[in-house]
Chains A and B, each alone.
Chain A
Amino acid sequence: GQQVMQIPQYQHVQEGEDFTTYCNSSTTLSNIQWYKQRPGGHPVFLIQLVKSGEVKKQKRLTFQFGEAKKNSSLHITATQTTDVGTYFCAGPGGSQGNLIFGKGTKLSVKP
């Protein structure tokens, strides 16, 4: 079945360093969504990418959708302690909108 894979599983950075997480799908995606889950919290929607090669920015976060619409990345510039959490990518699992999540990348930031 369809799989969404994320690497790395964990990333420890010093505050101010950059961070990138990568997402790969076994199938072509119509769109990809990114979520952030703080420790003890629930997934919170960050962004949806739809177009091949699309790049979107939210302040220090840059999201990219691959040309083949099978991979995506999230890059955080100059991490802050508020960036701590697990970042998930998710692709549609069917035509009705259910999501297939990757296992996430857990980011820790040392002050």
Chain B
Amino acid sequence: DAGVTQSPTHLIKTRGQQVTLRCSPKSGHDTVSWYQQALGQGPQFIFQYYEEEERQRGNFPDRFSGHQFPNYSSELNVNALLLGDSALYLCASSWGQREAFFGQGTRLTVV
């Protein structure tokens, strides 16, 4: 049983570019949440997807958008990248309010 998988593991982008990160949830999980973790900080909630719709959103600008597919996998898109977007992006899947299982993350560096 595969856990949460994310791709790519590392990414370097230039300011102003756009990026797409991908996540496949743990088998049996229908809810996918995305978090941004800056160095030395706790994960910060970006948004959550359930039944292919954004169900909840944290305090992030509209440059951050996402999508969930019928197979529950999800994408996180960030437009007009800023240096401050450099962080570890974590995908977490869950079933309801049960514990969240995190993927290994995508380390995004914006130069």
Interface of A is mostly: loop
For chain A, give the interface size range. 20 to 34
For chain B, give the interface size range. 20 to 34
Across-interface contacts of A66 in B (CB, < 8 A): none
Chain B 85-103 interface 0/1 with A at a Cβ cutoff of 8 Å (1 = within): 0001010101011111111
Q: Is B104 an interface residue (CB 8 A)?
A: yes
Contact yes or no, B90 A97, CB < 8 A: no
Total A-B residue contacts, Cβ distance less than 8 Å: 67
Q: Is B25 an interface residue (CB 8 A)?
A: no
Bound-state CA distance A92–B31 (Å) is 15
Using A93-B45, A96-B55 as known contacts, say yes or no to A43 and B99 having CB atoms under 8 A apart: no
Contact yes or no, A96 B58, CB < 8 A: no
Bound-state CA distance A45–B30 (Å) is 18
Across-interface contacts of A104 in B (CB, < 8 A): 41-42
Chain A 22-65 interface 0/1 with B at a Cβ cutoff of 8 Å (1 = within): 00000000110101000001111100100000000000000000
| Of the residues B42, B56, B59, B96, contact of A101 by C-beta under 8 Å | B42
Q: Which residues of B contact A (CB under 8 A)?
A: 31, 33, 35, 40-45, 48, 50, 55-56, 58-59, 88, 90, 92, 94, 96-105
Given contacts A33-B100, A96-B31, A99-B92, 6 further A-B contacts (CB under 8 A): A42-B105, A45-B99, A93-B58, A97-B94, A103-B40, A103-B41
